[in-house]
A and B are shown apart, each in its own frame.
Chain A
Amino acid sequence: MRNTTARIADEIDRITAAIGRIATWCSLYVVAAEFAVVVLRYALGFGSIRLQESVLYAHAGLFMLAAAWVLQTDQHVRVDVFYARGTPRTRAAVDLLGAVVFLLPFAAVLFALTLPYVERSWHIFEGSPQPSGLPFVYLLKTIILVFAASIGLQGVAQAIRAALILSAPSRQQSH
């Protein structure tokens, strides 16, 4: 039983880390493509709305897709005045409660609110408001759904891990 639940958490970690890797490459694209935009504009006097919009797409992908993986690696800011001083068990309790009370409801509500919003966009295959822009706004909006789903999944993994720590016999933690 412990093993199965731990395996679920591991599996979730693998998925969100893979999504996070895509986000990481987005950061390089943002730098390279924005630099290309600058060179084209200032050196050649040439502007491409598609290229400019692709930078914005990559930027959005960068922080939205990375969010769950950042949670997994515990890089989201905490006010850790008390948290940092807590025992592993108190920290696990904070993570379990936080995931169940704050994160999971937020992920669920956001997913539910965004679904019709994204559906409307897919329905018309919404494109850029600019005539020569990228025609993929429906995909860009779908990132919000991926964001909600991935942080929700990662919240489940976080809760599982915390629950495993809490349910372990506490004596074993002396080192």
Chain B
Amino acid sequence: MGETLAVAMVLAVCALLLVGYPVAFTLAGVSLGFASLGAALGIMDFALLGALPARIFGIMTNDVLLAIPLFIFMGVMLERSRIAEELLETMGRLFGRLPGGLGVSVIVVGVLLAAAKGVVGATTVTMGLIVLPTMLRHGYDKALAAGTVAATATLAQIFPPATVLVLLGDQLSNSYQAAQLAKGNFAPQTVTVADLFAGAICPALVLVLLYLLYIVAVAVVTPKKSPAIAADPSAPRGAALGARLISALVAPFALILAVLGSILAGIATPTEAASVGAVGAILLAMRKAGAKGFLIPVMIRTTQITSMIFVILVGATVFSLVFRGLGGDGLVARTLTNLPGGVAGAVLAVMAAVFLLGFVMDAFEIIFVVVPIVAPVLLQMPGVDPVWLGIMLAVNLQTSYMHPPLGPTLFYLRGVAPPEVTTRDIYLGIIPFVLIQLAMLIALWFAPGLATALPHRLYAP
């Protein structure tokens, strides 16, 4: 009876989210409704919700999550310093004279931008506003241009230091501990945000490589879809161009490398590295624009994005409490362990569920709502590595972000794309990239070493 109510609550949440009231409060409100219903029917003790203040206090004092506002601050600051525009212009000059060259530079710049930001919406908007018109002006196929921009922007979800990886790392480390305690291991191993960062690097680079191969393949097969840019006689060339590129590229690249490197080398925690990154971004922006007048907008944006993410976490906490109270976690555990195909079947089912939920929920909501329910079960199964599971989830979430018809990236892009780019163009253009993502998931499935080799080498006990 309680389990039926738990299932009904999941369905109700999915349906009511579509109505369009802010996600965090919809989650909390619907869950409270079901808790009252459960209490009225005598299935659930409403007093269970008494744990809520302590849970929220736990979120407030979680020092892993402290890295989030710092990374967001760094990303927003780099965005304000207009490094992206400068990079794109210079890279476009360098590679633009080859067919497909502009597409290649868009992906390379997009990767840098994504790594700096870690927030898909912001990356999509910047790229949609700056990159897409440039590509169209130079005669790129509309679908190809839109697909490239949308897909590259979603790399922000998997490229370290992505916000998604920090949040996933935090949730997985709790789940991993719970799973090992349940198995009777009272000296549990841990999984950290740094593990996930290290695990994400190879898959993210492979994805970039596959995107680049696709662009080159299109340029070879149908050159008119991605024409070369006519040389601009007034533009700097040779040494001058090289110098421009270095000055545009080196500083942001060095900053990101220093931040990531110090985390991966175990010198600094993600939080510490992120604060250095944030201060570095301020210095870069000062060099570009002079600090006057942009600090406050960056603070405001950082505060808004951070609060938006954490309030979803608060809403999802209410959901988890009620879901457990109704016995939903027992139902999930039983279903997953009894699936045909054993461990593989269970992981596959979770991946399919996450992919489908991606139609309604955003990556943050899935991480906060779904991961704490399914991960402790999966991580108790033999052979399920927490880093591997995390990276599979991250790639999967990234895919759901750009999957038609409801992928959020497509909506962000629709919002800023020039009117001549139709929704159909965007859908058509993104399909090859979605196929690449699925290929990546299959590759990870059969070659888990892609994700686990680097963290195991770096942090071998």
A residues less than 8 Å from B33 (CB atoms):
101, 105
B60 touches A73 (CB 8 A): no
Cα distance A97–B65 in the bound complex, in angstroms: 32
Name the contact of B19 in the complex, choosing from A38, A75, A83 (C-beta under 8 A): A83
Alpha-carbon gap, A66 to B88, bound state (A) = 35
A39 to chain B, nearest CB (A): 9
B241-276 to A contact mask, C-beta < 8 Å, 1/0: 000000000000000000000000000100110111
A63 CA to B406 CA, complexed, in Å: 28
Cα-based distance from A79 to B63 in the complex (angstroms):
29
> Quick check: A56 and B66 within 8 Å, CB to CB?
yes
B316 contacts A by Cβ under 8 Å: no
Within 8 Å of chain A (Cβ to Cβ): is B20? yes
Select one of A42, A101, A114 contacting B53, CB under 8 A. A114
CA distance A147 to B311 in the complex (A): 10
How many inter-chain residue pairs (CB < 8 Å) link A and B? 187
- A113 and B303 contacting across the interface, CB-CB below 8 Å: no
B20 interface neighbour in A59, A63, A75, A82, Cβ under 8 Å:
A82
Number of interface residues of B (CB under 8 A): 61
List residues 37-83 of chain A with CB under 8 A from any CB of chain B. Answer: 37-38, 41-42, 55-56, 59-60, 62-64, 66-67, 70-71, 73, 75-83
Q: Is A125 on the interface with B (CB-CB < 8 A)?
A: no
Asked whether any CB of chain A lies closer than 8 Å to the CB of B302, the reply is yes
Interface residue? B453 (CB, 8 A):
no
Query: With the chains together, A109 CA to B25 CA distance in Å?
Result: 13
- Is the C-beta of B186 less than 8 angstroms from some C-beta in chain A? no
Among A75, A102, A118, the residue within 8 A (CB) of B29 is: A102
Q: Is the CB of B278 within 8 A of A76?
A: no
**Is B276 within 8 A of A141, CB to CB?**
no
Quick one: which of A24, A37, A76, A78 contacts B275, CB cutoff 8 A? A37
Q: Check: B21 CB closer than 8 A to any chain A CB.
A: yes
B21 touching A38 by the CB < 8 A rule?
no
26 contacts between A and B (CB under 8 A): A27-B69, A30-B73, A31-B69, A34-B70, A34-B272, A34-B274, A35-B278, A38-B272, A59-B65, A64-B310, A70-B307, A70-B308, A73-B304, A75-B308, A77-B23, A80-B411, A81-B411, A84-B411, A97-B19, A97-B21, A102-B30, A106-B25, A109-B49, A110-B56, A117-B53, A144-B53
Q: A37-B275, A63-B310, A67-B311 are in contact. Are A76 and B22 (CB under 8 A)?
A: yes
Contact flags (1/0) for B399-422 with A, using CB distance below 8 Å? 000000010000100000000000
Q: A144 near B56 (CB under 8 angstroms)?
A: yes
Structural contact, A77 and B308, CB atoms closer than 8 A: yes
- Tell me whether A76 and B25 are in contact (CB under 8 A): yes
Least Cβ distance of B31 to chain A in Å? 9
Residues of A within 8 A of B66 (CB): 30, 34, 55-56, 59
Contacts A23-B303, A35-B276, A82-B18; is A102 near B28 (CB within 8 Å)? yes
Q: Is A166 an interface residue (CB 8 A)?
A: no
Asked if A140 is an interface residue, CB under 8 A from chain B, the answer is yes
- Chain B positions near chain A (C-beta within 8 angstroms): 17-26, 28-30, 32-33, 49-50, 52-54, 56-57, 60-61, 63, 65-66, 69-70, 73, 268, 271-272, 274-276, 278-279, 282, 295-296, 299-300, 302-312, 318, 360-362, 364, 406, 411
The answer to whether B32 touches A109 (Cβ under 8 A) is: yes
In the assembly, what is the distance between CA of A101 and CA of B57, in Å?
25
Chain A: minimal CB distance from B305 (Å): 8
Cβ of B304 and Cβ of A144 under 8 Å apart? no
CB-contact partner of B25 in A28, A56, A81, A103, under 8 A = A103
Chain A minimum-CB-distance residue to B27? A102
Instruction: Closest B residue to A128 by CB, please name it.
Output: B61
B69 touches A24 (CB 8 A): no
Does A94 lie within 8 Å of B19, measured CB to CB?
Answer: yes
Contact (Cβ within 8 A) A63 B19: no
State whether A102 and B21 are in contact (beta carbons under 8 Å apart), knowing that A20-B303, A38-B272, A67-B307 are contacts in the complex.
Answer: yes
